[in-house]
Amino acid sequence: MHPMGSRMKLLSMLAAVAVAGTIATVARGGHELPVYPSYYPHEIAIETVAPESAERLLPESKIHAYLGDAPNISRELPASMRAVESLGGFVIVRINPLSPSAKGEASACAAVETVARDIAGKDSIVFHPYPVTPYHGDYIYHADLADAAKTRFLQASAETSGRSIVNLHVKADARLASLVRSAWRTEGPDWDVAIEEVSVTNLMTAARTSLNGWLGPPWVKSGWFHAALILIDTVEDADRKQLIDAALKQLETRDYRDAADQVNLQRDLVAGLIANCRKVVVGYTAKREYVTTEFTEGIENIGFDSIDGLNSPMFIRTVKLKNFPWNGWLVLGIDSAPNAAWNPIAGFSDGFGRLLWSAVGDPALLSAPYDSGWMINRISDVRSNAGR
């Protein structure tokens, strides 16, 4: 199958409908059940679509959703379309270990804070100098620390604003080039500070294992885990590294007394990871994906994931076409061609494959859409009302 012509038509598994249909429901009037057993489309087409094509096909309802970056759509969003927002990536500022500014902690912090102070005033990213974001389900346990980090960072930046850093050279990813002053910008090898974006999708893909209904590890969407993946390589102090490794081991083996102890371990872990200036998370970007909600060719009842966005099992299991009571023909566009193996053991690791596996896989547990925990796929423990 040629990648650019990739089109997968997937017959839905009727088992989900059959299982749901076995649950007894008492109808007390009307001509139909108040909740249909499944909105799952009986045919799903997944197509590789370039962003410029998506900008034309979405308003025409030729595709129902676009899983990818289509920046021109957001300029004039039609009333018949909806934007779905999730975490895009972490914006980090890091010091070049070969730079003269990296020789001491004070000079490294001064260089990083000088660059980050400029970033704080830009609206192309969300300034957030803490590695757990509001998109993470465990942010509630870090909100006070995130606010304190922002206050502390801005105060420290104000105190060092008078320092003169001579011949500061800054390089940046192409998408973040606008964050750098033209006088600082460099493309050469002799740079002092770099501004980079760490894609949360790439971060999770590298850490995630999908095998036999397993979508783990259990903490794959947790902010403390993402913080460790990004920052642990900058920890140089041996004692602090030992404490961080011990906290990680306790969290991953559930070696804690209770929920309070678990939260304290997570907070202490992140505090240890952000204790130096060699690499600093200064903010994050949002990912915007688009769906058509036109009546009658659009879709509704859209569930999505705060981290994965539309490319998640939750979207496939909740999307409903408006012109069908249930089922129907769903057409999805995605910005990446398939480039990974298609098998449940070592494949489905690219964007196209993850979407395909969301449609045909049947895991026992799904990631909770707005939390870092998990939820049962189809059956929940409900207390019987038989005696009423």
Which sign does the torsion angle of CA 343, 346, 352, 354 carry? positive
Nearest to 332 by CA among 135, 151, 65: 65
Q: Which pLDDT belongs to residue 388?
A: 53
Domain residue limits, the chain: 3-80+293-376, 88-285
Question: In the chain, what percentage of residues exceed pLDDT 70?
Answer: 83
pLDDT in tens, 106-148: 888 889 988 988 888 788 899 999 999 999 999 999 999 999 9
pLDDT in tens, 137-159: 999 999 999 999 999 888 766 66
Side-chain-side CA neighbours of residue 13 (13 Å): 12
Nearest to 93 by CA among 166, 240, 192: 192
Q: Which pLDDT belongs to residue 274?
A: 95
Q: What does the alpha-carbon distance between residue 224 and residue 138 come to, in Å, rounded to a whole number?
A: 8
Q: Name every residue whose Cβ is closer than 8 Å to that of residue 115 and which is 6 or more positions away in sequence.
A: 93, 168, 170, 180, 184, 193, 195
Does the pLDDT at position 234 exceed 70? yes
pLDDT in tens, 276-325: 889 999 999 999 999 999 988 999 988 999 999 999 989 998 898 998 87
Q: Which pLDDT belongs to residue 238?
A: 93
Question: In the chain, what percentage of residues exceed pLDDT 90?
Answer: 53
Cis ω on the peptide bond leading into residue 217 (within 30° of 0)? yes
Mean pLDDT of the region 62-66: 96
> Containing H/E element for 282?
strand 279-292
Match 């975490």 to its residue by tokens.
87
Query: Under CATH, which architecture does the 88-285 domain have?
Result: Roll (3.10)
What is the value of pTM for the model shown?
0.84
Mean pLDDT of the region 344-354: 84
